[in-house]
Amino acid sequence: MMVRASTEQGVNAVLSREFEIDEANLVPTANLYEDLELDSLDAVDLVAALERQFQMKIDRHKDEETIRQMRTLADVYGFVDTKLGEKTSQSG
Amino acid sequence: MPPLSVPLAELVPHRPPMLWLDHLVEYSPDQGRTIGVVAAKHLFAEASGMLHPSASIELVAQTAAAHEGYQRRLEDKGVGGGFLVGVRDFVFWGAPECGDTIEVVARRRWSVGPVSVVSGQVTGSCGLLAEGELSFYLDDRAVPEAMQPRPQQIGDGTRQRSVGVSCGDIMGGIIIGENRDAGRAELFFERTCPVFCGHFPSFPLLPAVVSVRICMELLARWESDLEVPRVLHAKFGEAIQPPVTITVGSAPQIVEAQQRRRFWLQVDDNKAADIAFEVRQRSTARPGEGDQR
């Protein structure tokens, strides 16, 4: 799945700024829990921070399962990109 | 539909002096609203007659707990267990005043497994006092089973420590060591501290809001020219059981031109909490003014 470069940059900026993760470790294949050493509370914090960064709205019924399934940074990029696409189509 | 008015004590495990609201007055699956009169002898009351601003975090937490409790009642379940595990972007616009009637709204936003995200607002007679986002770990089991120690419980609940010369106290926790220059302090909490009587009677735990207040009060002791308009984020990964000695550390940070103070609480070698505050020079300006929210 192709993800916009701006999405990757924005997600990486949040991880770097809020979770103090070295940017060198922010590669799409990085596992959130094993490589980036996040825990389940951090994962919730990450989604909340991304919600603010990208001004997107998490849908309680639609997005929870996707969030639960996220394992790699590529999953996060894809999730945010999809949400941004939805936002654009709704506003257009 | 008749107006709702359910005493909070029927919905949450908190008890005085940690039961801070009176009734749940509105319920929908996504939102709860509570009201309460701020007690004159409130545990968080200050000499000014106002509560310490951090109290608003607990007010939203108790409203979220009451909302969850009412939902469990509708499902014929007992009062459940829940723990505040995170705070994000919680802005203090003011502080509740003793004697005032306050209204608190908590909106359930989304969940990941047992962790739920809630946004909330605290309003007094003079307007909005605080707003922000909290995360909860919800245990589907009923109290008291849900209040049994979690695997990551720290503070063995039996360990005693000889207390030397006190440097003061915060919320009944005796400051037994302090190095202002290094931003370090040690506090000792006895089981008999009033905060544990109501949080919770059968299973005492240090409330997360007390961890926040400890850090804000230490900051006020160490850098009295600074004030805290906002908790940027806080993570409470461990439950702290008394009696316990807590080591507090702090460090300044500047992130994208924003002045921050980062605090962490440790028990032995276990990090119990990590809290980041936005700070600024003490002034009379309303918090968040000039911010792009």
Count: domains in chain A: 1
Task: Select from B242, B113, B224 the least CA-distant residue to B171.
Answer: B242
Residues 6+ apart with CB under 8 A from A75: A32, A69
Which residue in A44, A57, A58 has the most chain B C-beta atoms within 10 A of its own C-beta, making it the best mutation to test that interface? A44
Residue A59 domain flag: yes
CB B290 within 8 A of CB B278: no
Residue A69 domain flag: yes
Residue B287, min C-alpha distance to chain A (Å) = 19
Residue A88 domain flag: no
Distance CA B115, CA B136 (A): 5
A74 versus B201: the higher-pLDDT residue is A74
CB contact under 8 A, A52 and B89: yes
Query: Is any Cβ of chain A less than 8 angstroms from the Cβ of B109?
Result: yes
CB contact under 8 A, A44 and B112: yes
Nearest to B255 among A17, A42, A44 (CB): A17
* Residue A77 structural domain: 5-82
Mean pLDDT, all residues of chain A:
91
Distance CA B116, CA B136 (A): 5
- Domain containing residue A45: CATH number: 1.10.1200.10
Residue with token string 């990551």: B152
Domains of chain B: 1-140 (3.10.129.10), 153-282 (3.10.129.10)
Q: What is the DSSP string of B238-277?
A: S-B-SSEEEEEEEEEEEETTEEEEEEEEEETTEEEEEEEE
In tens digits, chain B (293 residues) has pLDDT values of 568 999 999 999 999 999 999 999 999 999 999 999 999 999 999 999 999 999 999 999 999 999 999 999 999 998 877 889 999 999 999 999 999 999 999 999 998 888 999 999 999 999 999 999 999 998 776 555 555 544 444 554 444 444 445 678 999 999 999 999 999 999 999 999 999 999 988 889 999 999 999 999 999 999 999 999 999 999 998 889 999 999 999 999 887 778 999 999 999 989 999 999 999 998 765 555 544 43
Query: What H or E segment, with its residue span, contains residue B71?
Result: helix B55-74
B contacts of A48 (beta carbons < 8 Å) = 88, 117, 133, 135
Among chain B residues, the shortest Cα distance to A67 is held by B112
Distance CA B122, CA B234 (A): 19
Query: Is any Cβ of chain A less than 8 angstroms from the Cβ of B117?
Result: yes
Residue A23 domain flag: yes
Average pLDDT score over residue span A39-52: 90
Distance CA B19, CA B198 (A): 7
Task: Select from B42, B43, B112, B57 the least CA-distant residue to B230.
Answer: B57
Among chain A residues, the shortest Cα distance to B254 is held by A17
Distance CA A9, CA B283 (A): 36
pLDDT tens digits for range A13-39: 999 988 889 999 999 999 999 999 998
CB contact under 8 A, B233 and A18: yes
